[in-house]
């Protein structure tokens, strides 16, 4: 167990010193899953044979004294909306329940090339739509810190697996906060890189102009290393950036003297839980002690970000999900009399309520009579939000806020009210609207011992600075 609690960096040392083998580490991880996952629900399926084969290759390399990629041998959970040849890739939807990937996502290919054992496919909200992981068609995920609380969503399985020591690191996807929110609720680090930094090829699309894959880990160094493993241009994703990736590991441990930090006023206003506020204030004081300068900044249009997001994201989702029609992939209804009935019954039976709600909203926003009033307006406002951020970023290097105004809430408590659920993402969504890199790092606990996360947002492509800022805080408060 002590072994599983270590960070990837620490586990790597043990591997290189031959104190443990990669096969042992992988097997220990499966033992923990066997013991715990019935309660947690982090995994949809396990890919044990493949993981052990990879671990064996790592051990052979170590035995031969060959150089080892940065994350080789480190057990990883892959969100179940990323393709991996021969494994079920379900997006936690009934419509894909028996879908087996015929190809690898680019991130999966990179994980394999880097000899990272993929332990299994992590549970999520159906098609990554949700903030609590209660929208999975198969089972909910429970928060390892308190089994009555949600782990956050939509990458709830990816976050819970790391927090419950059922994986050392994991990958999630973030469309409006789905990496940062569960990282915050589960007390770990989660990082959404700049839009286009990591290839989306092979990620089941939710909202293509917002989706981004990123790492979870117990330490900032772990997420920096995993980020370096997956980042980079990909000819298979036309929105991936053909710009060299800065080696963030080189500057990670530099100090932050003189760093200019903006505190987002609107995100510390009313409605923020008192324990959350206190922890953020402690983080601010810590940053001052570390030599950063702090300035309060205002983003007046931030209040529109949820409204903009739920038009843009649902519009894109309604279009992306049109491909699930019973013809090409996955589930097909048993008793249709004609083609149209086959489409409608397949979709009615295959999609869950939240997915249907989004398809209806998105179709409405894109329909010819309403396009200008909703979709076009939302895109225009999205630009204005970006302008707001640009103005603020002229004066500061990074922005900080709580990742969420509250800590993890009780399972079932926000299910009846979709709007209350949507508001959970007030702090995270704008980074997706503007494409900026953003992370959540642990910064304390509330009175119920539930973790609190600090969000750091950076300028586009400046992943290095937010990781360095997170690393410095982590070292100062641990
Ligand atoms: N919670 C948001 C939603 O439900 C964001 C989800 C995500 O980032 N995938 O759409």
Each residue of 303-350: pLDDT tens digit?
Answer: 999 999 999 999 999 999 999 999 988 999 998 999 999 999 999 999
Residues contacting residue 99 through CB under 8 Å, at least 6 positions apart: 88, 89, 90, 329, 330
Low-confidence ranges of the chain (pLDDT < 70): none
**Is the beta carbon of 190 within 6 A of some atom in ligand 1?**
no
Q: Which residues is 213 bridged to in the sheet?
A: 173
Model pLDDT, residue 478: 85
Closest Cα to atom 10 of ligand 1 = 129
Model pLDDT, residue 417: 85
Burial of 18 (0-12, 13-18, 19+ CB in 10 A): exposed
Rg (CA), the chain: 21
Q: How far is CA 156 from CA 10, 43, 187, 403, in A?
A: 25, 10, 12, 15
Q: How far is the CA of 94 from the centre of ligand 1 (A)?
A: 19
Take residue 467 and report the two structure tokens written for it: 């990781």
Model pLDDT, residue 63: 97
CA–CA distance, 228 with 258 (Å, rounded to integer): 26
- Between helix 22-40 and helix 48-63 the angle, nearest 10°, is 150
Tell me the best of 155, 158, 175 to mutate to test the pocket of ligand 1, counting ligand atoms within 8 Å of each CB and taking the most. Answer: 175
Q: How far is the CA of 181 from the centre of ligand 1 (A)?
A: 9
Tell me the best of 82, 92, 123, 131 to mutate to test the pocket of ligand 1, counting ligand atoms within 8 Å of each CB and taking the most. Answer: 131
Model pLDDT, residue 422: 85
Q: How far is the CA of 430 from the centre of ligand 1 (A)?
A: 12
Q: How far is the CA of 290 from the centre of ligand 1 (A)?
A: 34
Other beta carbons within 10 angstroms of residue 57's beta carbon come to: 16
Model pLDDT, residue 419: 81
Catalytic residue annotation: 79, 154, 178
Other beta carbons within 10 angstroms of residue 277's beta carbon come to: 14
Q: In what order do the strands lie in the sheet with 169-174?
A: 43-46, 118-122, 76-79, 169-174, 212-217, 189-192, 438-445, 451-458, 398-402, 260-264, 293-297
Angular region, 165: left φ>0, alpha ψ -120 to 50, beta rest: left
Take residue 380 and report the two structure tokens written for it: 């225009």
Q: What is the Cα 360 distance to its own chain's centre?
A: 25
């Amino acid at each position: 167990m002590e072994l599983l609690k270590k960070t990837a960096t620490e586990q790597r040392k043990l591997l290189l010193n031959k104190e443990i083998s990669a096969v042992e580490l992988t097997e220990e991880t499966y033992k923990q899953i066997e013991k715990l996952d019935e309660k947690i629900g982090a995994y949809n399926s396990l890919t044990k044979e493949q993981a052990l084969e990879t671990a064996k290759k790592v051990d052979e390399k170590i035995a031969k004294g060959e150089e080892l990629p940065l994350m080789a041998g480190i057990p990883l959970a892959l969100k179940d909306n990323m393709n991996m040849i021969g494994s079920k890739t379900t997006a936690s939807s009934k419509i894909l329940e028996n879908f087996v990937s015929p190809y690898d996502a680019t991130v999966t290919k990179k994980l394999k090339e880097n000899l990272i054992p993929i332990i299994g496919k992590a549970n999520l909200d159906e098609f990554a739509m949700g903030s609590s992981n209660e929208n999975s068609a198969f089972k909910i995920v429970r928060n390892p810190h308190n089994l009555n609380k949600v782990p956050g969503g939509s990458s709830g399985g990816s976050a819970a697996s790391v927090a419950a020591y059922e994986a050392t690191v994991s990958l999630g996807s973030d469309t409006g906060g789905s990496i940062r929110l569960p990282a915050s609720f589960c007390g770990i680090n989660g990082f959404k890189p700049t839009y286009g930094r990591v290839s989306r090829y092979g990620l089941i699309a939710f909202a293509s102009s917002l989706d981004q894959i990123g790492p979870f880990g117990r330490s900032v160094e772990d997420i920096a290393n995993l980020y370096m493993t997956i980042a980079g241009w990909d000819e298979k994703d036309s929105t991936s950036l053909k710009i060299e990736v800065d080696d963030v590991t080189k500057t990670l441990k530099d100090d932050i003297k003189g760093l200019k930090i903006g505190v987002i006023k609107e995100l510390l206003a009313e409605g923020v839980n008192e324990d959350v506020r206190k922890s953020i204030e402690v983080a601010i004081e810590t940053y001052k002690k570390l030599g950063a300068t702090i300035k309060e900044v205002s983003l007046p249009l931030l209040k529109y970000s949820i409204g903009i997001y739920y038009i843009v994201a649902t519009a894109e989702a309604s279009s992306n999900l049109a491909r699930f029609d019973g013809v090409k992939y996955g589930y097909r209804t048993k008793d249709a009399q004609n083609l149209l009935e086959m489409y409608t019954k397949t979709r009615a039976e295959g999609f869950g309520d939240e997915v249907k709600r989004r398809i209806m909203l998105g179709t409405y926003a894109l329909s010819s009579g309403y396009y200008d009033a909703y979709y076009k307006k939302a895109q225009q406002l999205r630009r204005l939000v970006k302008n707001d951020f640009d103005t603020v970023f002229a004066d500061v290097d990074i922005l900080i806020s709580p990742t969420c105004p509250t800590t993890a809430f009780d399972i079932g408590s926000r299910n009846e009210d979709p709007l209350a659920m949507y508001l959970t993402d007030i702090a995270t969504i704008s980074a997706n609207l503007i494409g900026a890199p953003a992370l959540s790092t642990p910064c304390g606990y509330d009175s119920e011992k539930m973790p609190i996360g600090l969000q750091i947002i950076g300028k586009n492509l400046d992943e290095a600075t937010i990781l360095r800022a997170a690393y410095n805080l982590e070292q100062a408060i641990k």
